[in-house]
Amino acid sequence: MTLRVLGVDPGLTRCGIGVLDAGAGRGATLVDVGVIRSSSDDAIDQRLLALSRGLREVIELHAPDVVAIERVFAQNNTPTVMGTAQVSGIAILLAAERGIPIAMHTPSEVKAAVTGNGSADKKQIQTMLVRLLGLSAPPKPADAADALAIALTQLWRGPGPVRTDASGGARTSAQAVWAQAERSARRARETSTSRF
């Protein structure tokens, strides 16, 4: 059975998304990569609405088995941290509404998983993504590459999905049925009309 992971690099201006399918061994297959944008000229509510719509569209199109999100970490730029946290919350909510487990990874965990070095720079990550996924060039912008790295981290090193129900147990039967129906519909769409 194929495991599909949606990686999300949350950002208020550019939210990176990367979708990977688990392959044999440690292999992975690229399904989709890109960014969802919001305009800095818009009010915060409209920006979050635009990002929410974009993320919802990606989730509905690809029906991931897990959503991996970069964990927000403290830095000196408070407005940037706030925007990142707000977008993370949207991704978590959209996954929870569909019964999709989530996992969160710190930037250093992602760097270590992809390059073997928790202090790697963006160029090193992009170089490894090209090599590991057999790409002709690094995904651009960097937010898109970061999202792929987050998805790859979940495939390789994920501690397992974070439970989203109050009891800490498995999905409810209704959530499991919905998720299976979503995956079946997605695979049927992919068979009939491929975007790639």
Choice among 9, 21, 109, 182 that is catalytic: 9
57 phi and psi, to 5 degrees? -60, -45
Residues 175, 180, 183, 184: is their CA dihedral positive or negative? negative
Contact indicator for 4, 151 with CB cutoff of 8 Å: no
Q: How far apart are CA 28 and CA 30, in angstroms?
A: 7
Contact indicator for 161, 66 with CB cutoff of 8 Å: yes
45 is in an annotated binding site: no
Residue 119's Cβ-count burial label (10 Å; 0-12, 13-18, 19+) is exposed
CA dihedral 157, 32, 118, 95 (to 10 degrees): -60
Q: How far apart are CA 183 and CA 83, in angstroms?
A: 31
Choice among 65, 109, 143, 182 that is catalytic: 143
Q: Which residue in this structure is represented by tokens 């927000």?
A: 72
32 is in an annotated binding site: no
146 is in an annotated binding site: no
Type of residue at 28: A
Choice among 21, 65, 70, 146 that is catalytic: 70
Whether 65 is catalytic: no
Whether 143 is catalytic: yes
Whether 45 is catalytic: no
Binding site membership for Mg(2+): which residues? 9, 70, 143
What amino acid positions are annotated as catalytic residues? 9, 70, 143
Binding-site residues sit at 9, 70, 143
